[in-house]
C-alpha cells in the first residue's frame, strides 16, 4: 500500500469511515508504536500495553461510522489513556472487589464518577494552557461560582472584559474537546464496557 503511506491523517480518517481496510491498516501501522509507548509508560507491563492498544484499534474499526474523528492522533492518544485508566488501573488492581460488585448499583455509580473525573482532569489540562487572565476568569466562574460582575470586581476589570475572557475560555475548551474526540472516546468506551458486562 505505498500510496496510503502518503495520505494525510484526515484522508485516512475519511476512508476509514467508508470501511476502507487498507486505510485502517495504514493507521494501525502508523500509530501502533506510539500508542504502545504511551500504554507501556502507564502500565509498565508489555502484555497489558499490547492488549490495550489492540482494544483501542478494535474499537476504532468497529465504531468507525459512529464517531466523528477530527484528529486521529489526538483521538487515539486520548483513547489509550482512557482505556489504561479504566481497564488497567481499575480492573487489574482491584480484580476481586470488581467481580464482587458487578451487579451492584454502586459499581455503576463508580463508572460514572470515573468518566466524570477523567473529563474534568482533561478540561483542567486545557484550562492551564489559557492566557493568565482568561484562565483566572474561567476558574472564578466555574470553580468558585462567581458571576460576571463579581469576577469583574475581584479582578478590577470591566464586566465586558470579564465576559469576553469567559467566552474565549469556553470556546477554547469546547474546541479542544471536539477536536480531540475525548467526549466520543468516553461515550464509546463506556458503551463497550457496559456491553462486555452484559455478555
Task: Kindly list the distances between the CA atom of residue 137 and the CA atoms of 127, 129, 159, in Å, as whole numbers in the listed order.
Answer: 10, 13, 11
The per-residue pLDDT for range 100-148, each reduced to its tens digit, is: 544 555 444 455 555 556 666 667 777 888 888 898 888 888 877 888 8
Give how far the C-alpha of residue 150 lies from the chain's centroid of Cα atoms, to the nearest Å: 33
The per-residue pLDDT for range 49-58, each reduced to its tens digit, is: 888 899 899 9
Is the domain spanning 1-93 CATH 1.10.10.10? The answer is: no
Residue ranges covered by each domain of the chain:
1-93, 95-199
**Which are the contacts of 45, defined by CB distance < 8 A and separation ≥ 6?**
88
* Mean pLDDT value across the chain: 76
pLDDT of residue 115: 56
Task: Kindly list the distances between the CA atom of residue 124 and the CA atoms of 37, 156, 183, in Å, as whole numbers in the listed order.
Answer: 24, 24, 15
In which band, very low, low, confident or very high, does the pLDDT at 189 lie, cut at 50, 70 and 90?
very low
CA dist 111 and 148 (Å) reads 34
Neighbours of 108 (CB within 10 A): 14
Q: Which has the closest alpha carbon to 163: 175, 151, 173, 174? A: 151
Query: Which CATH number among 3.50.50.60, 3.90.1170.50, 3.30.390.10, 1.10.10.10 corresponds to the domain 95-199?
Result: 1.10.10.10
Amino acid at each position: 500500500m505505498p500510496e496510503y503511506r502518503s495520505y494525510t491523517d484526515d484522508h485516512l480518517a475519511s476512508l476509514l469511515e467508508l470501511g476502507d481496510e487498507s486505510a485502517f491498516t495504514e493507521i494501525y501501522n502508523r500509530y501502533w508504536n506510539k500508542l504502545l509507548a504511551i500504554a507501556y509508560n502507564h502500565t509498565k507491563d508489555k502484555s497489558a500495553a499490547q492488549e490495550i492498544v489492540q482494544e483501542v484499534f478494535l474499537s476504532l474499526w468497529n465504531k468507525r461510522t459512529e464517531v466523528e474523528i477530527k484528529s486521529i492522533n489526538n483521538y487515539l492518544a486520548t483513547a489509550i489513556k482512557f482505556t489504561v485508566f479504566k481497564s488497567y488501573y481499575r480492573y487489574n488492581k482491584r480484580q476481586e472487589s470488581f467481580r464482587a460488585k458487578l451487579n451492584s448499583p454502586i459499581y455503576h455509580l463508580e463508572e460514572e464518577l470515573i468518566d466524570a473525573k477523567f473529563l474534568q482532569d482533561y478540561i483542567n489540562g486545557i484550562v492551564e494552557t489559557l492566557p493568565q487572565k482568561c484562565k483566572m476568569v474561567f476558574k472564578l466562574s466555574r470553580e468558585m461560582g462567581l458571576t460576571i460582575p463579581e469576577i469583574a470586581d475581584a479582578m478590577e476589570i470591566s464586566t465586558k472584559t470579564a465576559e469576553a475572557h469567559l467566552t474565549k475560555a469556553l470556546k477554547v475548551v469546547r474546541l479542544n474537546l471536539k477536536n480531540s474526540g475525548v467526549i466520543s472516546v468516553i461515550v464509546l468506551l463506556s458503551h463497550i464496557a457496559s456491553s462486555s458486562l452484559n455478555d
